[in-house]
Amino acid sequence: MASPKKKLQGLVAATITPMTENGEINFSVIGQYVDYLVKEQGVKNIFVNGTTGEGLSLSVSERRQVAEEWVTKGKDKLDQVVIHVGALSLKESQELAQHAAEIGADGIAVIAPFFLKPWSKDVLINFLKEVAAAAPALPFYYYHIPALTGVKIRAEELLDGIQDKIPTFQGLKFSDTDLLDFGQCVDQNRQQQFAFLFGVDEQLLSALVMGATGAVGSTYNYLGRKTSQMLEAFERKDFSLALNYQSCFLVYFSHLGFGVSQTKAIMTLVSGIPMGPPRLPLQKASREFTDSVEAKLKSLDFLSFSDLKDGNLEAGS
């Protein structure tokens, strides 16, 4: 594993939590999943138990087990394993943060509590501070996703002076379409050299222009290499080519959908690793959806294998 002091940057796959048809976590495929990300997609940083990983639909015990499995299977293969430890309960979030430190994770991230919500920047920072203090040696990232939390405190406002309150704060996972807020986060915090990780995959190119230093997303599970090519084109200032990659792949996949159910189905088709259905209240993708996606992927010559097993289709549908 990488040094825990290293900031997260570049592409980060928001990992899926594989499940069996009866809704139990399928730990047996995580080692294969690690190898697929590294060898097939060139992605060596992961974000575990976030939205894509259904972290808030798992019990604390399950979240601990999933985190342990990724850290164990990723040893000497992955560069960074960041664990999302946000919860409605401060005590549970602290327990998960401490556990992440104990198992050798490289960082932790936290969303705002979203039932009894913080009503101001100071209240939210007080919550985050208490979680970060449970793992004082780990880099701490705030996971900004207001569409799901309903917490509308602007990220730019939150970052103002945050390191004075949370010394381990190293960056932001910004999963919102408000590019003005994101741009202000970057512009007003350049001296701090925070990690600015963008989380809306279909808008990544725009975020790069605004100063994003990396990206965390579900599509990098199966679009890692394609997205890396876009990042390389952007670095070379070949903006026309970068835009072509963005348009041809991320925008295309946006028509299929980026929900957890869709992501599980697409990942099963592309990787051949059975990701299973999501956990209730989410519904599994329909067979009609899976068949449609399979046809579209084959038309793009996107699938890495030609003969899909019905079992794999069902597991991902």
The answer to whether 260 is a known ligand-binding residue is: no
- Residue in 268, 279, 245, 254 with CA at minimum distance from that of residue 317: 268
Residue 309 known to be catalytic: no
* Residue 143: strand pairing partners: 111, 173
Buried b (16+ CB within 10 A) or exposed e, 254-275: eebebbbbbbbbbbbbbbbbbb
Any alpha helices (H) in the chain, and if so which ranges?
30-35, 41, 60-74, 90-103, 121-133, 146-149, 155-159, 162-165, 179-187, 204-210, 224-235, 239-245, 252-256, 260-271, 287-299, 310-316
Q: Choose, from 36, 73, 142, 173, the residue flagged as catalytic.
A: 173
Strand (E) or helix (H) holding 170 = strand 169-174
The answer to whether the peptide bond before residue 18 is cis (omega within 30 degrees of 0) is no
Q: Choose, from 33, 36, 141, 143, the residue flagged as catalytic.
A: 143
Residue 36 known to be catalytic: no
The answer to whether 216 is a known ligand-binding residue is: yes
Burial of 84 (0-12, 13-18, 19+ CB in 10 A): buried
Active site residues: 143, 173
Give the residue ranges of the annotated binding site for pyruvate: 52, 216
